[in-house]
Amino acid sequence: MPERPRVAVVGSINTDLVVYTPRLPRPGETALGGDLHRFGGGKGANQAVAAARLGGTVRMIGRVGDDDFGRVATANLTRHGVNVEGVATTAGTPSGVALIVVDERGENLIALAPGANWRVAAADVEEGWPGASACSVLLMQLEVPLEADLRAAVLGRRAGWTVILNPAPAPATPLPAELLGLTDVIVPNEGEAAALTGLAVDDPDSAERAGRALLAMGPGAVVVTLGARGACVVTAESAEHIPAVPVRAVDTTGAGDAFCGGLALALAWGDGLVEAARYAGHVAALSVTRRGAQESMPTADEVAALLAGAGA
């Protein structure tokens, strides 16, 4: 049996507090919803869970607060099979919490209090790195300070890993050229690609144009996710549009994280980028058919069944 793929994730760990409403509230409006739901969240943790549930050996590097949210979030990662030896506890600081409203179409609004996530430092990455030495793929986002991502990217490149950056949430200022130059694959959605390039992105053609602009900034390859329109894989040699898998969306929270976790897992298996992006699209499609972020992440068998049904 081949060795399980190994992925290291440097990123955020949150608790998602979710209310489901018939429609999203407008500014100043109170929208009556159902009961409050509590799920594990945070882009880093979500992506780690996605890769672990797909069969990967996953190590998480990040921070939580010394509170109930942090203890439950860490236990939840462990329950899903993620190694949390690299997760530190920050005394006197709350854990990260996201307040989420989801409408009947599965669309959402999110407000984030980063808490301990914003205390993740380069030193935390270095301290947690030895335990991740057997990994082959590094996955990062932008919900921790850039110094932590940059240090991880330097160490990942030095180790010969595939370095993946999900530039989410969309950065308000340009990303450091050094970070982009150390990135093998950058995975923005439409809004993030637009924020990074200044180009409108709303279909595969515009995604390809934005992808070309991103390539000029230093990454080795670009995968622009387009939600219901699928994804666009752009390299120096080619561009390929990957259609979305048609499903009935219940909750899109964490769909991008499911895609990134699936992409990292497939690349760690040794798949090519287009094949890995196609696999990731099926992972994301299954995730939106269920409520919550981490709880919605599919297993490898579920993805295999969907792939078989789609004739992939």
As a whole number of angstroms, the distance between CA 305 and CA 169 comes to 32
What does the block give as tokens for 39?
């799920």
The Cα 142–Cα 284 span in angstroms is 20
**What token pair was written down for 87?**
């997760």
Whether 103 is catalytic is no
Distance separating alpha carbons of residues 73 and 48, to the nearest angstrom? 12
Select which of 205, 257, 271, 301 is catalytic: 257
Provide the H-helix boundaries in 134-250.
146-159, 177-181, 190-197, 204-215
Q: How many CB atoms lie within 10 A of CB 246?
A: 8
CA dihedral defined by 140, 145, 146, 147, rounded to 10 degrees?
-110
First to last CA, the chain: 23
Catalytic sites, residue numbers:
257
